[in-house]
Structure 1
Amino acid sequence: MRFSVTIALILVLSAVGLTYEIAAGRVLAPFFGTSLVTWTTVIATVLGGFSLGSALGGVVAERPRAVAFRDIRSALVATAVLMAVSPTLLGLLHAWGARGTGGMILSVVLVFFPASVCVTLPSPLLAKLAMEARPGREGSSLGFLLAAGSVGAIFGAILAGFVTLPLIGSTATFAACGAVALLCLPFVRGGQPGTPAVTIAAAGFVAFAGLAGSPACQYESGLSCLHVVRQGPEVRLVSDGTMQAAERVTPGEADDGTGLVLSYTGWLWARMDRDLGPEASVLFVGGGGYTLPTELLASRPKAQAVAVEIDPMVTKVVRLHMPGAADMIARAGYDASEGEGADGRLGIVHADGRVYLNETDQRFDAAVMDAFSSGSVPAHLVTRETFARLREIADGPVYVNLLDTPDGPLARGVHAILREFYPHIEAVQGRVTAGGRTNILFAASLAPLEPLESLPDGYGPTQISDARAFTDDRGWVGHR
């Protein structure tokens, strides 16, 4: 085998392996969420597969050349099939009852470990062939091989994150990985002939998986896996398996607001309605379904809002499926990243919330922190540094929505931060779910907070224990 061919194959297979790894973390989100725990499990499992594949590939490379080539071709066919079937296997395991951290770890190992072994198995033989192709230049040959592996990994990560996952989705990305593995077969010549029928069957299966396989997400971007669910008079927005927003739709009737459905939005709005004046300017970090900004602007014709939503796909889905918020965006929305709107009252910024806080010079009367990544708050949005910056640009109250266990570590850490900047804090929590978590809501203010006349059904005051405040250096680690 020519040296250039071995380098090209190493580069391509490394790219396939990293694309597969990134796609694995993405496809987990609808079933188990996305967090430090899920990504750690995926990375450890795939790297473990790569390690075992290299070890087994070393044994294969020492076999007679004819047998070694046959085994390598078999590994490439197995890689294609296992990668293409990965999202289906994951869905089956979830349907069979895989839940919680244990179920997630078991699913990741069973689904993603075998393909990770197979995709790496050809590498030692390719390395051996590269050495043989340039006698006396083994050192530089090895250096080029290592560089090709690294470049391929970099290319695969970029390809998954910036191209395939946002454009064609995770299911098609897995099938594409399998197809590329099969395309390597013609370059692995020699040795005992393989079975053409097996290769043809594998190619047909990969094509079927890519074209006919059910997408993991109704709407998918590099940041979100979104589903829209209609239940009676309600439309709900679900992101990475967690319901992010909902509004009530009454056919045939015009409604200037959104018809708030979720209890936590009911409390936040009741608190805002009591605390804010008729011309309030409010920053919303986390656009979601845009229900709270819509309610604010519908009830206060002179109010202003800026909603910071990291994923443009979320805004697109809201425009398509949530009529109340979509109508408000159409009537009052403008691109706030280009400056203040001449006529619009709802500024929309597609950016990370922390980046916007660091860069904006606009001031607000209040702020709502309601950003989520899957079922948890991004760690960099719940640090002392974040709220210190928020205190600089928001003159009035700050409202925070969290998902945590009662008096859990996230709630305690955020409460400790708020106590450093605000003398008056109110905390409530809703009903605890079967998973043991609930919405924990904070209102923090420099001025005393007037009590609400009533609370949403299932909500009541809660006590939060003392804890260490999160910082950028020692922050929230997240959970599913």
Structure 2
Amino acid sequence: MLSAVGLTYEIAAGRVLAPFFGTSLLTWTTVIATVLGGFSLGSALGGIVAERPRDAALRATRGALVGTAVLMAASPTLLGLLHNWGARGTQGMMLSVFLVFFPASVLVTLPSPLLAKLAMEARPGREGSSLGFVLAAGSVGAIVGAILAGFVTLPLIGSTATFATCGVLTLLCLPFLRGGPPDNRVVTLAAAGFVGFAGLAGTPACEFESGLSCLDIARKGPEIFLVSDGTVQAAERSAPQELGHGSVPLALGYTDWLWSRMAHDLGPAPSVLFIGGGGYTLPTKLLAARPDARAVAVEIDPLVTDVVRSHMPRASAMIDAAGYDASDSGSAAGRLGIVHDDGRVYLNETETRFDAVVMDAFSSGSVPAHLVTRETFARLRDIVDGPVYVNLLDAPDGPLARGVHAILTELYPHVVVAQGPVSERNRTNVLFAAAAQPLDAPVDQPEGYGPVRISDARAFTDDRGWVGHR
């Protein structure tokens, strides 16, 4: 059971980290290295504990289990406190991961050597097979924990409750440590009460959570924002009544830039592929402005679509009026096809041709690495006859923008690049339009957006790709 708890805890750690520091190769590497480091130290210390007299060893092991339960249940709160105290950037992420997740990782594995010793003592003369069974049980438990976290607890009850569940399961191991001095029932009951309180009263990481997304809805005057892992992914603005029901005002500057390009570059009846549904604002704008246009939006997480339909009225109305399930190639009962799948998988499998594509997919605050490779854009060139539009979040002339720019200039003879206002975190929207035909300057440029020069760099590939935004 402790192995299952340990793996569940590790996966939940990567999930709960996303609203504060995003999800990337760097965050997952840090989590895995930290937790495995804790497991290693816990096993070493547990070996020392196992050599103590039986009563002392059992007392220390029970204390480790209680400490594990409390620390696991408190992990989301501790992470939030460190973030509020100023933990930022790569260094802040690494420090937070170590302080929050390392201690519990040490304690959860501390009982393992004693349990292995007890198993071997129970079968004199068959110590080898007893140890083998213990190690095998640990591996099976780890598998169960990984499945439990990814397919059950995180999608169904969220990360905060998953940490509390880890604490509960840890405390349930106490009755199996028979013999030795009796438990300190006051401490055990206090720990159980804390774990229960953390699970029931703890603040959820976000309003809406699945195994893929951690979403919030924020409102500011007439604007509704869809926030994913702490980063604004989309926004919708109510239209003045005199503009009429068919008007779809855009609330974010980068969507204004993309729409300006699309309105200038595309004909009256384009077929446009959107990789990343987000708030469905651009598909809604396209279909409202061009009655003969068609769109397919590929969104990996059905929760995003559900939240949009519940909280973003204009996009919801368009989905209700024109939406259909485009995953069934034989069905096209509307103008807005919706596919719940990974964008790269869809690109690899689709036989549909499009007049243009908008690449606007994000995981937390950055683009998934497999969507910004030479192979991805080469596939787009095969199925898209017209322009390719790309939205990135990066530092000015940052490594992500440079890598994507290298890909586009390699595959397309005409590439236009623009940059938006730079935030306090030194991040900005970097926007690309690439095509086989010349691209004139768009008629309208949103305030704060203008052309920008991107430095030369190595093009990302499937083998050597983007490692994640820091």
Q: Does residue 1:114 correspond to 2:103, yes or no?
A: yes
Q: Does residue 1:300 correspond to 2:290, yes or no?
A: yes
Post-superposition offset of 1:251: 8.0
CA distance in 2, matches of 1:135, 1:250: 79
CA distance in 1, matches of 2:330, 2:223: 33
**Which of residues 165, 170, 188 is equivalent to 1:181?**
170
Q: Does residue 1:412 correspond to 2:402, yes or no?
A: yes
CA distance in 2, matches of 1:104, 1:312: 29
CA distance in 1, matches of 2:245, 2:181: 72
Post-superposition offset of 1:408: 1.4
CA distance in 2, matches of 1:41, 1:257: 46
**Which of residues 120, 129, 133 is equivalent to 2:122?**
133
Q: How does 1:255-334 map to 2 (within 5 A)?
A: 255-334=245-324
What is the aligned residue count? 469
Q: Which residue is 1:148 aligned to?
A: 137
Q: How does 1:25-44 map to 2 (within 5 A)?
A: 25-44=14-33
Post-superposition offset of 1:252: 6.5
Contact 1:257 / 1:294 at 8 angstroms: preserved in 2? no
Contact 1:413 / 1:467 at 8 angstroms: preserved in 2? yes
TM-score in terms of structure 2 length: 0.98
Q: Does residue 1:428 correspond to 2:418, yes or no?
A: yes
Post-superposition offset of 1:278: 1.0
| Identity within the alignment, % | 77
Amino acid at match of 1:82: L
CA distance in 2, matches of 1:257, 1:166: 36
Post-superposition offset of 1:40: 1.1
Deviations 1:118-160 (A, max 9, x none): 1100000001111111112122112211111111111101110
CA distance in 2, matches of 1:108, 1:467: 31
Amino acid at match of 2:388: V
Q: Does residue 1:400 correspond to 2:390, yes or no?
A: yes
Post-superposition offset of 1:467: 1.4
CA distance in 2, matches of 1:78, 1:60: 16
Contact 2:68 / 2:170 at 8 angstroms: preserved in 1? yes
CA distance in 1, matches of 2:259, 2:392: 15
Deviations 1:288-327 (A, max 9, x none): 0000000000001110000000000000000011011000
Q: How does 1:34-433 map to 2 (within 5 A)?
A: 34-250=23-239, 255-339=245-329, 341-433=331-423
Post-superposition offset of 1:343: 3.2
Gap runs ≥5 in structure 2? none
Check 1:192–1:251 CA distance in 2 against 1; reply closer, same or farther (3 A cut).
farther
CA distance in 1, matches of 2:168, 2:189: 12
Stretches of 4+ aligned residues off by more than 6 angstroms: none
| C-alpha RMSD of the superposition | 1.2
Amino acid at match of 2:237: R
Contact 1:366 / 1:395 at 8 angstroms: preserved in 2? yes
Contact 1:428 / 1:460 at 8 angstroms: preserved in 2? yes
Post-superposition offset of 1:342: 4.0
CA distance in 2, matches of 1:445, 1:160: 43
Between 361-370 and 403-412, report the one with greater CA deviation.
403-412
Q: Does residue 1:23 correspond to 2:5, yes or no?
A: no
CA distance in 2, matches of 1:291, 1:257: 12
Q: Which residue is 1:469 aligned to?
A: 459
Partner-residue secondary structure (3-state), 2:217: strand
Gap runs ≥5 in structure 1? 1-11
Post-superposition offset of 1:25: 0.7
Post-superposition offset of 1:427: 0.4
Partner-residue secondary structure (3-state), 1:338: coil
Post-superposition offset of 1:341: 4.1
Contact 1:256 / 1:324 at 8 angstroms: preserved in 2? no
CA distance in 1, matches of 2:86, 2:245: 41
Partner-residue secondary structure (3-state), 1:34: coil
